[in-house]
Structure 1
């Protein structure tokens, strides 16, 4: 580096030499774990000793675990490789926008179920990012500015008076659509209790879809919920109901919904997957509150404007030959998330849930999750999530006991000011329980590595994790 001095003897910047410029243009990959990527050897050396942000781990801390996580790469590559649209870029990532563009279903408003906010932000700038923006944090301000360029509001289809039909929503050739409305041309799938549906291959076969269909690029949301309920939490079972017995009752609270609001009719898939079951799903989140508030103010006849604890905004019943499963979807628009503060009112309005689910939750990244995590442990409420990375899940395995211990040692440290919070004895019992937090690869992940500066498996809903079990 050469120092550049101004006339006052100050050094405001440094000029990079030609040799250093060449070095910076050659990205480096950690030779030990083969996962971490750096713009230069200088950055790699710094990352080994210096964390990216306060209280986070250095690469030295993570390298050994990264090496273990990298063993899963072939499994994740195989998920994408089964699809003819699964092109892998030079850096190993998958560009879902290119795949969607091939089918002319890329864009904001007006693209049916494929309508989306777009942009590089995985989530709305809420929680930690929003807090940082309010307090003047650089990352939060950047997130807010980026979001302005992608101003499509998640849930915009709910400002209409009717849900989109299969054909209008999918905007694909009929043979590529997983229909929910059937006819002589498009027969309903076999009874789900008679087949085994454990991954995309078996689902595509059951739905009689060719792998050319890009359905997996948005069906990962309802299918991940199915996996969490049936496998991770074991609160549902395709074989539990029968045509002659009482119908199975299943209540799900879906926390942190955003993109899902653009294609709620796709959750009808759960009624096909769970025969003879009555399913209630209540969606919570900042985006839910925003769209309901907007609807009631300016679209009084819209679907979202009708949202209430007694009025579902979507209902569906599967054909008799598929088991006549029924599902009703509700929007909780009176608060911006599922919180212990209004748990009593929520449980009274919608009933005690069979489970909480939260796809791509980021439980360890947003402090607003901590009271929910604690409450689920205290009340032993089944709670399952998906996350982008295994590393994130393992970090949470360390965080959850600390949350419980903190509330025991300093009562009210997390639940302070929350009406109806469980008492100290309940918290001590929860903290003394030997909790396990199993992590596994989610077979219904959205296929393809995200374009992020790491070679670790990092995909939407890539990993399923049980936070609280039965």
Structure 2
């Protein structure tokens, strides 16, 4: 809402685009001509685009409706807590892969969350209260000495678990390049899972990475490897990891999806830095305490019948943010990234993204992200040309004078290229609309953006 308060009673909706929700006619009138935050667009500027974005609603709802647990509320939203509650995996501490911060605070208290608290109002007060009530350190499972088993991690009935460690009872999937895995329906069929399984509620993270690599950026292909030829090597840098640190073993799915590939997946971010620092200080025998550029904290090799794909997961923790490969000698152990990916990135919301955006453009490194909403994708893309032009005029003003920063010539070349930024609906989004004050599709890992790529 424009005012920042919680809607009580029936919400008001724009009569033209049917998208934003308001607590009153006054609130709607204000939003029409007043920016909610600095540099944001008014509803008058967004209304026509909203009509186009609303055409996605049936597609988003259909993704949810295919699941028996996918209850669509009257306002079009989906209560993930109700779905999790059905399987007794609501979350919090001690729930294996399902452990998470909980409540309405999905991210670390930065950016818009801090702004909401500072602004006050009933919403700001609720956010502040919930942040304290549901306090949880993402990555806490990595303070243990070993990863949980499939059963202990998923905490579901065996027939609902997408196993990575197989047995005579739970056979591995067939070679991924023999089927077309293009959406949740085809993935569930390939994994021989019933739609009753809530696996999509967690696996949307690794599956979105898969989709970014094979469809958005086209740097990977299930058919690229073969048992007789050289293995395909992929070096992927994953930026902004938070809740994903609670279920790192689920990224083994990439080794099944990409046969005869060797994948290095390196995680960056504030939560990575925090959990590794804590582990080294007080949990010296834990998984996270072993993190280094030469020590993966998780490794997995798929069965031979599934293509023996391999993945190694690293935590890069010396800094709480991403830096270019040449800026940190430790990063040379990974090599130059074949791609950079980021889930639910919010590229225009955090200044920490600017060096990543510039580096990818100037060094032509494939960079793909997911975002919650198509509207936010398009709004954030407006910032890219200004950022490139600014860096071209004063090289190093954003990237800084650090090793690995592109040259002035690279800055100028990037600024003069005509970049295209396709935005697409992600078929591996988490099922279900978030409970936000708009009817526009707004879903975790909902949309993909090819920032830089083929």
Normalising by structure 2, report the TM-score: 0.94
> Residue in 2 aligned with 1:189?
173
**Mapping for residues 174-213 of structure 1, pairs under 5 Å:** 174-213=158-197
> Residue in 1 aligned with 2:434?
450
> Residue in 1 aligned with 2:451?
467
> Residue in 2 aligned with 1:319?
303
Q: By how many angstroms is 1:71 displaced?
A: 0.5
Spell out, residue by residue over 1:288-343, the C-alpha distance to the aligned partner (whole angstroms, 9 max, x if none): 01110111011100000000001010111000000000010001111112124964
The answer to whether the 8 A contact 2:327-2:402 is kept is no
Q: By how many angstroms is 1:36 displaced?
A: 1.0
> Residue in 1 aligned with 2:149?
165
CA–CA distance in 2 between the matches of 1:373 and 1:146?
Answer: 33
> Residue in 1 aligned with 2:332?
348
CA–CA distance in 1 between the matches of 2:199 and 2:161?
Answer: 7
> Residue in 2 aligned with 1:292?
276
> Residue in 1 aligned with 2:4?
none
Q: By how many angstroms is 1:419 displaced?
A: 4.1
Spell out, residue by residue over 1:53-95, the C-alpha distance to the aligned partner (whole angstroms, 9 max, x if none): 2221111011000010000100000000000000011211000
CA–CA distance in 2 between the matches of 1:275 and 1:227?
Answer: 15
The alignment of Structure 1 onto Structure 2 pairs a total of residues equal to 445
CA–CA distance in 2 between the matches of 1:231 and 1:138?
Answer: 40
Spell out, residue by residue over 1:386-414, the C-alpha distance to the aligned partner (whole angstroms, 9 max, x if none): 00000111012211111101111233331
Q: By how many angstroms is 1:105 displaced?
A: 0.3
**Mapping for residues 46-445 of structure 1, pairs under 5 Å:** 46-126=30-110, 137-138=118-119, 146-340=130-324, 343-345=327-329, 347-445=331-429
Compared with structure 1, are the counterparts of its residues 25 and 137 closer, same or farther at alpha carbon in structure 2 (3 Å cutoff)?
Answer: closer
CA–CA distance in 1 between the matches of 2:62 and 2:177?
Answer: 27
CA–CA distance in 2 between the matches of 1:268 and 1:36?
Answer: 39
**What are structure 2's unaligned runs of at least 5 residues?**
1-6
Could you say what secondary structure the match of 1:175 adopts?
helix
CA–CA distance in 1 between the matches of 2:11 and 2:201?
Answer: 30
The answer to whether the 8 A contact 1:347-1:353 is kept is no
Q: By how many angstroms is 1:418 displaced?
A: 3.5
Structure with bigger gyration radius: 1
Compared with structure 1, are the counterparts of its residues 336 and 454 closer, same or farther at alpha carbon in structure 2 (3 Å cutoff)?
Answer: same
CA–CA distance in 2 between the matches of 1:425 and 1:376?
Answer: 15
The answer to whether the 8 A contact 1:380-1:468 is kept is yes
> Residue in 1 aligned with 2:3?
none
Spell out, residue by residue over 1:142-175, the C-alpha distance to the aligned partner (whole angstroms, 9 max, x if none): 6666422222111111011110000110000000
**What are structure 1's unaligned runs of at least 5 residues?**
1-22
The answer to whether the 8 A contact 1:370-1:414 is kept is yes
